[in-house]
Structure 1
Amino acid sequence: MDWFKEFYTKSFCIIIIFLTLASLIISENEDNFGSHNQINSRLNNNKITKRVVIKKIKTTTRAKRFESKSCGVASIEPSIDFSKLQRIINGNSANPNSWPWLVSIRRLENSGYYHYCAGSIISPQYVITAAHCIADHKNRSYVVFVGINDLNDKNNSKNPYYIKEFKIHSSFDKNLNSDIALLKLNQSIQFSKKISPICLPSNKNGSFLYGKSVVVIGWGSTNGFAAQNFLSNTLLQAVLQIKNYQIGSQCKGFDERNYCALDTDSTDKKFSNICFGDSGGSLMHFSNGMWYLYGISSFIFGNVDTKQCFNYIPSFYTIVPNFLDWIKTNI
C-alpha cells in the first residue's frame, strides 16, 4: 500500500512502543522516554529482530481452576456494531461494564496508584496480561481493580486486589517475545453482572483468526500522545481485522509470532488502534454467543521525539492460542 511505503521513507525516528504508561508518570525533566519505551529491536526490511531471554519462573499449581462454564458472556450487552468503527484513539465509549473481564492494573508512583496497564480475568483468582507490564514487579508495587468503567470513579476503586504471585513466561524478553504473564490475586474475585471471566480459546491454531474482525478495548491515549491527561477516563473499544502475514502488504515481513491487526474500514483516515495505557488488554473474537481472548495488546510503532504512537499502521498482539498449555500449567 502507498501509505505503508511512505511510512518507511519518512525521516522521523521510529521505535516500537511499549503501550504502558511508564513514560506518563515520570518527571517531565527526565528524558528517558526512549529508554523506558523503546525496545532494543531494529527494523530491517520490515522485520523485527529480537533477542535475549530472561529467567524462567516455576510453578506447581494445577489447572483445575482454569475451566469456567460461564465465561465470555456479558450481562450488559456491548455496544459493538461491526459495520461502524469505534476507536480507542479518538474513540467511542463502551457500554459501562459491558466488558466485565477487563481490569485496570495500577502501579504505585509517589503517593498513589496510577493506571498502568490492562488485563483480563480468566478465573476467580487469575488475571492475564502482557509480561512487559509487570517485568519490574520486584521493584514496584501493583494492584488490580475489577469492575471498572471510569478510571476516576472512586466508588469502584475502594477495594483493590493485591497480587500474590507474578508468573512471567520463561521466553519473554525485552523485544517482547512471549509477552504474556499471569497474576495470581491475593483472594478470589466475587463474580457478578459487572465482573466475570472471558473464555480462553480451545483451538491452538492461531491462524484461525486471520481475516476475521476482532474487538480491542482499553483506557489508553485517545489522541496518540503519551500524557496522563490524554487517557480516556471511560473504557473505549475498537474493531480491527487480523491480517495474514503472507497475504497483502500491511503485515508481510513482520514477526509472525504475534497477531498483526489493522483498521481496514476507516473512510476518514482517522484510523483506530491501541495506544499508551492499552497494553495488556483484551483482543477478543465473538463465536457461538461467547467472547474469547485470542490476543493480548503488546506493542505498536511510534515516534520517540514526539512521544506519539501511530494509529494508521498495524498493532501487534501476543497470540494466546500459542500459550494455552503454559496457561493451563500455571493456574
Structure 2
Amino acid sequence: MVLLRLRAVLVMAAVVVLAGATPARAISGGEAVAPGEFSWMVRLLPVDCGGTLIEPRLVLTAKHCLDDRPGDGFTVVAGVVDLADPARDTVASVATYTPPGEWFDNDWGLLKLAAPMSLPTLPLATARIDPETVTVTGWGAASWEGEQQRHLQKVELPFLPDAQCGENPDHYDQYLCTRTVNRRSFCHGDPGGPGLRRLAHGRREQVGIVSFGSDCEWENNEDAKPVFTDVAYFAPDIRRASRRLVSGG
C-alpha cells in the first residue's frame, strides 16, 4: 500500500479536493497505555495499522488499511501493550469486507479472524453525540518518518465542531474532526485505530476510526486537524456487513 503525504491545508477542502487526499500515516505527544487499559486494541500486520475487536472474530479498522491485500493476508496482534511481549496473541485473517467506492468517502472496513479471540470487545457508537475530547490509541510513530512504536500510546484530542472542520462541512457528516495541541496528534502507523468517547463508570465507546489529516510534520509548522470516520454515521452499514462476514455470506 502506497501512502502519499497529505498536507493539512488540503484536509478540509471541498469534495473535489478530497479526491486527491491521502490517508493518515501515527501518535505524537502521547503517553504509555497501562496493561489491560484498552484490551480490545489490535495491531494489523504487515500494514502497520490499528484496529479494534468489536466481536470475538471481527476487527474494525480503516478501509485504506485493507484495500490492497487479500482477505487472508493479515496477522492480528492483540492482548498486549508491548508488541514484543511473548504473551501476545496472534491470529491470521480469513476474509475482509470494505465498502465500495473511494476510501475517503467511507473509510471503514472489517477483518474476519481465523479463530475467536478471548478478549473484551469494544462497543460502537450508534448515535452522534459530540464529545469534548476524543481519545486515540495506537502504536504509530511520534513524528513524520519516525519509527513505529513498540508500546501502545494514547492521547486526548479536543473535538472540533463541523462548522470549524473545513470549507464544506456538509460533506463531513461522515467524519469527526479534532485539532492538534502542542504537537499532540495521531500520525504514521495509527490509521484504523479508534477514536474513543468516555462514558460513565470509566467505560468507553468507539466514536471514530483514525482516517486522515495529520502527518506530524512539525518541523514544517503543520497545523493539523486530525479526522476520524464517524462510526455512528456508518453504524447500520457496519452491523449489516458484520453479520454477513461472520456468517460467511
- Seen in structure 2, the aligned counterparts of structure 1 residues 309 and 239 have a Cα distance that, compared at 3 Å, is farther
Question: How far apart, in 2, do the equivalents of 1:47 and 1:240 lie?
Answer: 24
Q: Which amino acid aligns with 2:188?
A: F
Q: Which amino acid aligns with 1:156?
A: A
* Cα deviation 1:79-120 (Å, max 9, x = unaligned): xxxxxxxx931321111221011001011xxxxxxx610000
CA contact (8 A) 1:302 1:310 kept: no
Residue matched to 2:123? 199
> Residue 36 of structure 1: SS of its match in structure 2?
coil
* Cα deviation 1:106-159 (Å, max 9, x = unaligned): 11xxxxxxx610000111111100010011113982110111211222x034x4
Aligned with 1:292 (options 175, 196, 205): 205
**RMSD (CA atoms):** 3.1
> Residue 49 of structure 2: SS of its match in structure 1?
strand
Residue matched to 2:229? 318
Question: How far apart, in 1, do the equivalents of 2:219 and 2:234 lie?
Answer: 30
Question: How far apart, in 1, do the equivalents of 2:95 and 2:160 lie?
Answer: 35
Q: Does 1:330 align with 2:206?
A: no
Give 1:51 shift: 4.6
Q: Does 1:188 align with 2:116?
A: yes
Residue matched to 1:156? 87
Question: How far apart, in 1, do the equivalents of 2:11 and 2:123 lie?
Answer: 37
Structure 1 residues 1-331: aligned runs within 5 Å:
36-38=3-5, 43=10, 46-49=13-16, 50-51=18-19, 88-107=27-46, 116-138=48-70, 141-153=73-85, 155-157=86-88, 159-171=89-101, 173-174=102-103, 176-191=104-119, 196-203=120-127, 206=128, 208-209=129-130, 212-222=132-142, 224-227=143-146, 230-246=147-163, 248=164, 251-254=165-168, 255-256=171-172, 257-263=174-180, 266=181, 270-289=182-201, 290-302=203-215, 312-331=223-242
Question: How far apart, in 2, do the equivalents of 1:273 and 1:91 lie?
Answer: 8
CA contact (8 A) 1:126 1:182 kept: yes
- With structure 1 as the length reference, what TM-score do the two structures score? 0.63
- Seen in structure 2, the aligned counterparts of structure 1 residues 311 and 221 have a Cα distance that, compared at 3 Å, is farther
> What is the number of residues matched between the two proteins?
232
Question: How far apart, in 2, do the equivalents of 1:292 and 1:164 lie?
Answer: 26
Question: How far apart, in 2, do the equivalents of 1:225 and 1:319 lie?
Answer: 25
Question: How far apart, in 1, do the equivalents of 2:10 and 2:156 lie?
Answer: 27
Structure 1 ranges of 4+ moved more than 4 A: 306-311
Give 1:301 shift: 4.1
Question: How far apart, in 1, do the equivalents of 2:11 and 2:228 lie?
Answer: 20
Question: How far apart, in 1, do the equivalents of 2:179 and 2:5 lie?
Answer: 21
Question: How far apart, in 2, do the equivalents of 1:309 and 1:166 lie?
Answer: 37
- Seen in structure 2, the aligned counterparts of structure 1 residues 142 and 45 have a Cα distance that, compared at 3 Å, is closer
Structure with larger Rg? 1
Question: How far apart, in 1, do the equivalents of 2:12 and 2:225 lie?
Answer: 16
Structure 2: state its 5+ residue gaps. 21-25, 243-249
CA contact (8 A) 1:272 1:311 kept: no
Question: Percent of aligned pairs with the same residue?
Answer: 21
Q: Which amino acid aligns with 1:291?
A: R
CA contact (8 A) 2:134 2:157 kept: yes
Question: How far apart, in 2, do the equivalents of 1:278 and 1:309 lie?
Answer: 21
* Cα deviation 1:53-94 (Å, max 9, x = unaligned): xxxxxxxxxxxxxxxxxxxxxxxxxxxxxxxxxx93132111
- Seen in structure 2, the aligned counterparts of structure 1 residues 145 and 45 have a Cα distance that, compared at 3 Å, is closer
